[in-house]
Structure 1
Amino acid sequence: MQASLSINQKRINSIDLLRGLIMIIMAIDHVRDYFHASSFLYNPLDLSKTSAAIFFTRWITHFCAPIFMLLAGTSAYLIGQKKSKKELSVFLVKRGLWLIFLEMIIVNFGWNFNIFFPNFLFVTIWALGVSMIVLAALIHLPVKIILPICVLIVAGHNLLDKTHITGNTLPAFGWALLHEQNFFYWNKEAFLVGYPLVPWIGVMPLGYCLGVWYASGYDATKRRKQLLITGGLSILLFVILRYSNLYGDPVPWSTQKNPLFTFLSFINVNKYPPSLLYILITLGSALILLAWMEKLQGAVVNTISIYGRVPMFFYLIHIYLIHLLAMIASGLFTSVAWQNWMLRQPIWFNTDLKGYGFPLIVVYLVWAFVVVALFPLCKRYDRYKQSHKEKWWLSYL
């Protein structure tokens, strides 16, 4: 008997498990942002300055955003099994607009703790919201049409890597929203475009297409085989393209000071915007994990799955908790005043916090505390959601 997946279950446990795992992994990146001493000094993926431990602490979190996007699309397909295309489309538009609002107000305040909102960060949740709105239009096409459109977006967008619009101008801002991470400053307000929309708007519909394999009545053995083959081919294509240095990522890999750092260079693919190679290795791994997780069961699986059933709830409160802990730690253990955490600049470019920070081991201890501390809240909220399915607003959080 399959304990982790049944087409008769209301939820698909392997999807909840994978989503929960990436939510937990995601938290370590945000703890590192707020606690690690080097976060304010250099990019953790800069091979001229980083260590292997710091590199992997950052690199492993690369899997979070694309997998979350993919599974959001899959969830949309499954929701669509109970709704008409029009109903699903309306739901996706409403939820997309709600997510954009959350990003601009609730999440941005959580990042900054500044009531004057000097920083507006266009990052994960905004890209998720816009992708849902795009998906709301695409679902009216057959899956056999959606799939090639999205493959073309994901595979072809690196042809735009050498296209740039410079300056602190509206055209440059518009291009950044589409395809180029950039920072802008107008009227004492900072605008950081961290998640350009292309190719994210192609990733979520790929997840929608993946939902076909999870439709009621679909053969589980066939699905696992397809997941393994597709995931394996994606990783193989990653290796071939990456080794060739011909296409798929704007920054080629190169030989480094030792074999380990050469390997780090090889896997150090571009996230902003996510390159084809970035998508291949992250989503290829996701498909393999989905196949493997169908057979997992037990207390650990059930615990991790709880985070996966309430991902937005966890996302919102973990940012506030981490920021609050950083403020407390700053006041108690460092010479940097806690008031500096009411940020006037985006955290990644903040000059007020130089001299603050802790060793990597503290980052992992705080991460463990955050994940464990939020579990009772997530469990309680999950139970509330499961027992109050009639409340429409629960689907938005």
Structure 2
Amino acid sequence: MKRINTVDIVRGIVMVIMALDHTRDLLHTPALTQDPTDLATTTAPIFLTRWITHLCAPTFVFLSGTSAYLSLQRRAGLRDGQSEARSFLRKRGLVLILLEVTVINFAFWTDIQFRSLMLQVIFAIGGGLVLLSWLSTLPARRLGIIGLSIIVLHGLLALLPAFTNPAAHLGWALLFRTEVFPVSANFMLLVAYPLIPWFGIMLVGFACGPMFTLPLDQRRKRLLYYGLLALGVFVVVRAINVYGSVPWSVQKDALFTFLSFMNVNKYPPSLLYTAVTLGVMFVMLWLADGVDNAFTRVMTVYGKVPLFYYILHWYLVKMAMIGMVLIQGFRLSDMPLGALSFGRPPGAGVSLPVVYAVWLGVVVLLYPLCRWYGRYKADHPEIGWLRYG
């Protein structure tokens, strides 16, 4: 089965966008104290800079499910091919979880004592692939129904009372809730991406896999249809303002009322957050499908090596933050380390335009590295571990 470049193009686009959010997190002056989506304190540029990056995680997770389906189909005619593919999904999921709690967490916190542990999107994808390796024997349509049910209904779990038993509380958070656990004075666990809500998105991506085997014209029609359908669901349910995310309200002017309407809950991913982000993703896939130009070729370079890009971009952004701290007159000893502290001292930071400049610099620096690694992977299929990145 031929590789679908559309998946790589859109994955590359959202990977580029993702680096903007992490650059803002670590370098933007108000990021230490201000929620960029708090309409009482934010500005429209800050809000929109944060909002556009909402597209990233759902797209990663959805396309991970789609790629898993396509991988299984490529091996469908081989002896023990699907069994081996499911085993690979399981191993890759475990590798992703291991990288999340080691290499990726160190990139963010740069704390050799690991006093902070944050479970983010790589944890959710890794755990989802492990589950999918067992469930992928079921028909894709059935898994899609399960995934849609999770997306629509998991918000009702907020109505349940909190667990008082610590072990049950932790287990529930790992599966369903975003929560911080102060395990001790020197160790904090942040479950940012609970497994099941994100797994619902992965299952829908898996169920959409057959669509990517259709002829181009049929595929593009379905991509546009699904995109408009998801965006339509978002507008209607959001307008009702009863379920699906935090309520919106009339604000001081029309612009901030619109921002309130668009201010959907990501932690965990609400129904409306998922509907609007996947709706935009489907439209992006529709626009990119069958297109071959300089822009799509550049985005494909990033999209073909997602894990390589993800790990390297964290280290480059963190190095940029350390450089900023030193340039602004602070010393390395001024950088606070400890539970949930990524090392930026109070007073250090840059404006939003500088954040954008640093972001573009990071993306440009990563291009030749990603191009080299992508070519190296293609030229050395015999090196098994390259398949993981």
**Matched residues in 2 for 1:334 and 1:57: separation?**
28
Matches within 5 A, 1:374-393: 374-393=366-385
Aligned with 1:63 (options 43, 48, 55): 55
**Matched residues in 2 for 1:195 and 1:168: separation?**
21
Cα deviation for residue 144 of structure 1 reads 2.3
What count of residue pairs does the alignment treat as equivalent? 383
Contact 1:327 1:339 in 2 (8 A): no
Contact 1:19 1:67 in 2 (8 A): yes
Cα deviation for residue 354 of structure 1 reads 2.0
Cα deviation for residue 172 of structure 1 reads 2.1
State, as a whole percentage, how many aligned pairs show the same letter.
42
Cα deviation for residue 148 of structure 1 reads 1.0
Cα deviation for residue 163 of structure 1 reads 2.8
**1:326/1:366 Cα in 2 relative to 1: closer, same or farther (>3 Å)?**
same
Aligned with 1:213 (options 204, 211, 214): 211
Matches within 5 A, 1:333-344: 333-335=328-330, 337-341=331-335, 343-344=337-338
1:114-141 C-alpha deviation (Å, 9 max, x unpaired):
1111101111111110011111122110
1:273-311 C-alpha deviation (Å, 9 max, x unpaired):
000111111111111211111142211211111000011
Contact 2:336 2:345 in 1 (8 A): no
**1:72/1:339 Cα in 2 relative to 1: closer, same or farther (>3 Å)?**
farther
Matches within 5 A, 1:1-40: 10-40=2-32
Gaps of at least 5 residues in structure 2 are 76-80
**Matched residues in 1 for 2:353 and 2:362: separation?**
14
User: Does 2:235 match 1:239?
Assistant: yes
1:84-129 C-alpha deviation (Å, 9 max, x unpaired):
3322211111000000000000101111111111101111111110
1:68-87 C-alpha deviation (Å, 9 max, x unpaired):
11111111111112223322
**1:393/1:342 Cα in 2 relative to 1: closer, same or farther (>3 Å)?**
farther
Cα deviation for residue 165 of structure 1 reads 2.3
Aligned with 2:149 (options 145, 152, 162): 152
**Matched residues in 1 for 2:86 and 2:260: separation?**
42
What value does the CA root-mean-square deviation take over the aligned residues? 1.6
**Matched residues in 1 for 2:84 and 2:11: separation?**
25
**Matched residues in 2 for 1:124 and 1:244: separation?**
30
Cα deviation for residue 334 of structure 1 reads 4.2
Cα deviation for residue 230 of structure 1 reads 1.3
Counterpart residue number, 1:287: 282
Q: Give secondary structure in 1 for the equivalent of 2:195.
A: coil
Matches within 5 A, 1:1-397: 10-83=2-75, 84-165=81-162, 169-187=166-184, 188-215=186-213, 218-249=214-245, 251-335=246-330, 337-341=331-335, 343-347=337-341, 353-397=345-389
**Matched residues in 2 for 1:63 and 1:164: separation?**
31
**Matched residues in 2 for 1:205 and 1:85: separation?**
18
Gaps of at least 5 residues in structure 1 are 1-7
Contact 1:168 1:185 in 2 (8 A): no
**Matched residues in 1 for 2:134 and 2:228: separation?**
31
Counterpart residue number, 1:3: none
Contact 1:113 1:341 in 2 (8 A): no
Contact 1:23 1:311 in 2 (8 A): yes
Contact 1:168 1:184 in 2 (8 A): no
Moved over 6 A (4+): none
Amino acid at match of 1:366: V
Contact 1:16 1:309 in 2 (8 A): yes
Amino acid at match of 1:301: T
Cα deviation for residue 186 of structure 1 reads 1.8
Contact 1:154 1:202 in 2 (8 A): yes
Q: Give secondary structure in 2 for the equivalent of 1:224.
A: helix
Amino acid at match of 1:276: L
State the TM-score, normalizing by the size of structure 1: 0.93
